[in-house]
Amino acid sequence: MKSFPRAFPLALALFAAAQPNVQAAGAPDVPAPRWNLHWLEHHWALNRSARASHAQLILVGDSIVENFATVGRATWDRYYAPRHPLNLGIGGDRTQHVLWRLAHGNLDHLAPRLVIVMVGQNNGGRDSAAAIGAGVTAIVALLRTQLPQTKILLLSIFPRGEPATPERATLAAASRIAAATADGVHVWYLDVNRAFLRADGSIPRTLMADLEHPTPLGYRVWAEALEPTVARLMGERPILPSP
């Protein structure tokens, strides 16, 4: 994709601000940008990173993915830094925003061995399970088109909030719908949510202090749950947990 001048995001943001009907994102499976300058600049920064990267492992998602390289830095450095990773997470993104980013430069010039996808939580409370599942399915389909030689590991959407809420049920149902994309050849599905839940379905605040975003310990638990599958799909020996 061509590199746009710095003025382009600003012009785009000003255009959107003048047209309030454009502000609302549509269906979860229809690509849509977020109409603010900070997000657009973050998007273009990821495009630049993609062009400069030889990433073998890519993580795609929202703030949960984005924060892996900051809040979960020690775990990121142990498990992913040796694999030449690229973090394509932006906080607040819904499936439609991720779709737009992936179609507009985030994947340019990349040929990773594995892409890990965890997205959809921010659609909860807004969209139905069927709509969220369709959004995640569309992301997997786009990745298959853009990166036909890359393996895809789709993760279940993390639970958030207190147990037995309608949103919890919606996100779980959306994950089950998206899981149908797994074929064991190009796409694999993994549900590690139990690692974050007590027997009664509650989330320990040591793992997610706000019942949504992993703490440093939460990221360690997440990476350790993923590692056997990640290593197998990348054709490597698993990295052992830190003492």
Domain 19-234 sits in CATH at 3.40.50.1110
| 22 pLDDT higher than 70 | no
Query: Could you give the C-alpha distances from 222 to 84, 131, 196, 218, in angstroms and in order?
Result: 19, 26, 8, 6
Q: Around Cβ 229, how many Cβ atoms within 10 Å?
A: 17
pTM: 0.91
On the question of pLDDT at 139 being above 70, the answer is: yes
What is the distance between the alpha carbons of residues 204 and 211, in angstroms, rounded to a whole number? 8
- Per-residue pLDDT for 14 more than 80? no
* Backbone phi, psi, residue 151, to 5°: -80, 145
Model confidence at 5: pLDDT above 80:
no
- pLDDT reported for residue 7: 47
C-alpha 197/C-alpha 203 separation (Å) is: 5
pLDDT digits (tens, 9 = 90+) for 142-164: 999 999 999 999 999 999 999 98
Per-residue confidence band for 123, with pLDDT thresholds at 50, 70 and 90: very high
C-alpha to C-alpha distance for 148 and 141, rounded to whole angstroms:
10
**In the chain, where are the structural domains located?**
19-234
For 187-239, write each residue's pLDDT tens digit.
999 999 999 999 999 999 999 999 999 999 999 999 999 999 999 999 999 99
Q: What's the pLDDT at 148?
A: 97
Render the burial of 146-159: b for 16+ CB within 10 Å, e for the rest.
Answer: ebeebbbbbbbbbb
- Token duo for residue 200: 């009664």
Position 24 pLDDT exceeds 60? no
Neighbours of 27 (CB within 10 A): 14
Does residue 15 surpass a pLDDT of 70? Answer: no
Mean pLDDT of the chain: 92
